Structure 1
């Protein structure tokens, strides 16, 4: 076999693209197998944690639906506790990391390689969330009760305002009580005065005659 310059090349110097493609594909397959194995290892450790906490989530009060308690199947497995907190594995695939998303960013609640320590931490977190929910519900009930108590006097005032008003009897003042008596006395005196004037007039007429 001769190359482009006319020299005969050895078989070991020959390059084939098909061989290169085959080697690249084998390397990618090996890396994929490693990724799958690592993901499966993470999932297995999270399954162990989920098994430890199965009894805890079974005791959550009925009607409290704030907890998820499920492992997702994404590229990085996560054991979701609720909508904002989850447990995942660190880079070493042996350390549990309990993380929570807040308005200030993501915070680490606990990071440990001990399964029991992580299970205890998650259990206390669940208990705190249940107590917080109960307090919130109790606060809402107290607010509704206070609003109802404040509304009752307003309803009573509106009801009283719609009732027909009863006219109070007029109080008889001393001046009003003495008004008829004063009129009678004045009329009596006027009658006497008229009679005196009439007598004087009659006497004057007869004396003049």
Structure 2
């Protein structure tokens, strides 16, 4: 929170929140109950909205505004002009119209995809995913201490390597291949808050995933 507050002096921020481990728990219960993908997506939206309200309250003294999802698409330009930053639920508004995945029922478009689509639609200068790992590895670093860190990779290289565990929504690979404005995104470790400001400046401090050169 302190790193975000400090960054507000230099950047206009759109902060998309997810539900974290609580959303995974809600999804697990929903799957046990046999709920379809669209309902699971709506449950995740509600869960992420709770975190957005919490962070919005904490950053309110700095002038940050938490925008309800019903008006986000229409009012975001207004609030960006009026406030140093805005906070929103990071999940895309697909809700019960979420795209069914090829396998299983877990919604493929989650917080990472939602914030990425928002950045593409509004032409954000950078898109930064804040995680609890340093970036992308060729294996799960929590399960494999010998996992190799990947500092930079393109969409085609990522598809070719077919890494089994990714620290972001897998659907981002296909989304990044089709974008016109956002040509890359960076994954940084949120447990190292000093990395946030350099990432917002476009410096390479985590893993950068790039669109293939045209």
TM score, norm. by length of structure 1: 0.26
- Flag the structure with higher helix content: 1
Higher-RCO chain (CA-CA 8 Å, sequence separation at least 6): 2
